[in-house]
Amino acid sequence: MNDTSRLISELSESMKRGDLPPWRAESKLLDQGVKSPDHFFPAALARKAYVEDISGEAFSHLQVLEKPYIQPWQCPKDGIIHNLEAQEKDLTCTVCKSALTSYKGPLAGYAPLVASYVAGLEDYISYCGQITVRGAIDRSFVNLTAMGPGMSAIGLARGCFLVNRFGGAEVHVEPLARTARCMGYIFAKPETRDRAREVIEANLERITAAVNERLAKVGAKVGQVEFGTDNFGPDYFLYVCFYGDVPEYRAHGEISWAVGEAREITDFILNEARVEFNLSVIAQGYDGDFKPSPSNKRGRRVSAQVRIPVKTMEEFLEKPVDRFLAFIEMDRRGVEKLGWFFYTGMGAEIISGLYKATRINPRMPLTTCLERIYAFMDRGDLVYGVELPSVEAGVWSSIEGAVPPTGREVMRIMGITNTREFCANLAAQVLAGEFNLACEIVRGKLYSREVSRLY
């Protein structure tokens, strides 16, 4: 066994024993005398071996590159530092097109950029620790996200360690997700609109059956039909919104086609009843769609929380727990002052990272990144949690589109086998990342010159 293979084996075994946090592999190699940047590759391979061992899955489509790190370059004309992939061959300044020169500054500052890097040919796939969940789902997950090289992956891994230390994340996952599409009608008179609603309600069973026939292809069915009215100038509006209950798939394409067919049936029914309308459309605004609104009724609600005895929390913070609660409220009100309706921290970064890594929904909507953080006291414990009100996910390849091999491999390694597990893992990761961030800010461990970026 050569020296590199020996180092990789020793690091991996140390991770398995719990003696070495995986995100500190680079620092360990530097301590052992391996020169930068030669320490990056064996650290990544050691983490790869560790992740394969704890997950029981071998990497097939994901690849560990020989130089899995960021290389700094500098523009000689304006001094801008460009952090490029080590594989990058286009070494020109994106601003002035000058040829870049190798940056001669200290390389130590770049160690955190790759400290959780595992693999990835097209994207940076980061190892972000393991998280244990209980409640709606009882299991542990290996966390891989397309977080990219940076401090966020380390913070998330440390957050998972903290949450696990305090008993894991208690998760609640709604058994069904919702999808929606809305028919819209425009009338010249309010009386005609009222008559149209009566006719539609009288034939609603027939119309709903047509929607259900199409939704059955993805195991879904209509759970609710909602009527709404409005008017503007000479026009009187009627909304008829169908909400589908979905166990596994996203089903947005299917409900769109289903309600489109139902609109044609409804047009025929209204014409037969001699109810005149000026326009018949699919009214995309009312059903929520991809719009960030607290009234959005698409996706699946999921939440995760951790419970910590006050004494334990105060020993960890080295501050009274009410200071922590005051910080959460300070941030919540700050968000409120900006006009937003949920308190969100770094959750959107974690959410988008998991979506990108698993490829389960390449066009992830903004609504999926909605997040509400909460914290309160309960029977001598601090409860800290996150709620994701609108998670859109369907992990299976289906008529909605195939999940590519890299995404399927990431899910296999993570241990995700269905949509509810995806949601549970997502909420638990967001909880861990937010909890670590909040704790480190309150403890004064972030945004300070005195604190090493290497932790």
Domain locations along the chain: 3-121, 177-282
Q: Is the peptide bond before 37 cis (omega within 30 degrees of 0)?
A: yes
Distances in Å between the Cα of 367 and the Cα atoms of 238, 391, 425 are 25, 8, 18
Rounded to an integer, what is the distance from CA 92 to the centroid of its chain? 34
Q: Is the dihedral of CA 401, 406, 407, 413 positive or negative?
A: positive
Q: Which two tokens stand for residue 334?
A: 């700050």
pLDDT of residue 253: 86
Residue 436 exposure: Cα atoms within 13 Å on the Cβ side: 25
Q: Which two tokens stand for residue 274?
A: 């001699």
- CA 157, CA 21: separation in Å to the nearest integer? 9
Q: Is the dihedral of CA 383, 384, 388, 389 positive or negative?
A: positive
4-29 b/e (C-beta count within 10 Å ≥ 16 → b): eeebbeebbebbeeeebbbbbbbbbb
Q: Which two tokens stand for residue 321?
A: 């727990």
Question: How many Cβ atoms are within 10 Å of 378's Cβ, its own excluded?
Answer: 8
List, in order, residues 6 or more apart from 452 with CB less than 8 Å away: none
- CA 166, CA 313: separation in Å to the nearest integer? 10
**Burial (0-12, 13-18, 19+ Cβ within 10 Å), 35:** exposed
- The class (CATH top level) of 177-282 is alpha beta
- CA 111, CA 417: separation in Å to the nearest integer? 34
* Residues in the chain, pLDDT under 70: 1, 106-111, 362-366, 397-398, 400, 449-455
- Strand-pair partners of 139: 133
Residue 403 DSSP code: P
pLDDT of residue 450: 58
Coil, strand or helix: which one is 369? helix
- CA 172, CA 156: separation in Å to the nearest integer? 20
- CA 162, CA 248: separation in Å to the nearest integer? 31
* DSSP code string of 291-353: ---TT---BEEEEEEEEEEHHHHHHHHTS-HHHHHHHHHHHHHHHHHTT-SS--SSHHHHHHH
What's this model's pTM, rounded to 2 decimal places? 0.91
List, in order, residues 6 or more apart from 320 with CB less than 8 Å away: 314
pLDDT of residue 10: 95
Element counts in the chain: helices (H) and strands (E) = 12, 14
